[in-house]
A and B are shown apart, each in its own frame.
Chain A
Amino acid sequence: SQQGEEDPQALSIQEGENATMNCSYKTSINNLQWYRQNSGRGLVHLILIRSNEREKHSGRLRVTLDTSKKSSSLLITASRAADTASYFCALVLLGGNTGKLIFGQGTTLQVKP
């Protein structure tokens, strides 16, 4: 499968703790994107990391990419109750030119106040 595999499937932490989610894949990618989905709503783009990048930051988000291991991680620091959501990695495959995304199954994060 070309789909990203996300780990863990579910994560429950206390407010203020850090949350780490992982995404592994099997094919070559052009870039990898992370999206958030609040309960029953549409997805919102968080961050994009290109295949030649190793790390990117956006506010409390830190994304790493290791193309040799074909894996990425999303770290949310100092989590808040409002971070409770599902998080999806999405792959843009190498050689693609349509911006088509292939989504993983997602990690459900619960942040307890």
Chain B
Amino acid sequence: DVKVTQSSRYLVKRTGEKVFLECVQDMDHENMFWYRQDPGLGLRLIYFSYDVKMKEKGDIPEGYSVSREKKERFSLILESASTNQTSMYLCASSETSGVYNEQFFGPGTRLTVL
């Protein structure tokens, strides 16, 4: 079974802090994704990566950056956390760049910024 793990289930940070969310997948997938999920808005893509050290902006990249130094790990960075970044963050991975691949999701990190 594919396993996607995220470093924390719940996280509370203060405004202005630098926040790191870590995601690890164990199936040698090439693609990795970061989404945020907010009530009534569904999932929105923040960034994705199709290879080590490669990244592309999604629909809402402002205020976020990412890092992919190893194939299995994809990190989301909030440079200076703000209250409007309080949300559920979901990481996902998929096998290749093909369009017929399903995405496998981690359990999510619920981030609260005070």
Contacts and interface: CB of A to CB of B under 8 A. Distances in A.
Interface of A: 3, 30-31, 33, 35, 40-45, 48, 50, 88, 92, 96-106
Given A3-B42, A104-B42, A42 B99 contact: no
Task: Give the interface size bracket for B toward A.
Answer: 20 to 34
Contacts of B103: 43, 45, 99, 101
A48 B105 CA distance: 16
Contact of A43 (B40, B45, B90): B90
Interface of B: 4, 31, 33, 35, 40-45, 48, 50, 56, 58, 88, 90, 92, 94, 96-108, 110
Nearest to B108: A42
Contacts of B42: 3, 88, 103-106
A19 to B, nearest CB: 19
A88 B43 contact: yes
28 contacts: A3-B42, A31-B99, A31-B100, A33-B102, A40-B88, A40-B110, A42-B107, A43-B103, A45-B102, A50-B100, A88-B43, A92-B99, A92-B100, A97-B98, A97-B99, A98-B31, A98-B50, A98-B97, A99-B31, A99-B94, A99-B99, A99-B103, A101-B33, A101-B45, A101-B103, A102-B45, A103-B44, A104-B42
A100 B4 contact: no
Contact of A42 (B44, B90, B97, B100): B90
Nearest to B105: A42
Given A50-B100, A97-B99, A100-B48, A105 B40 contact: yes
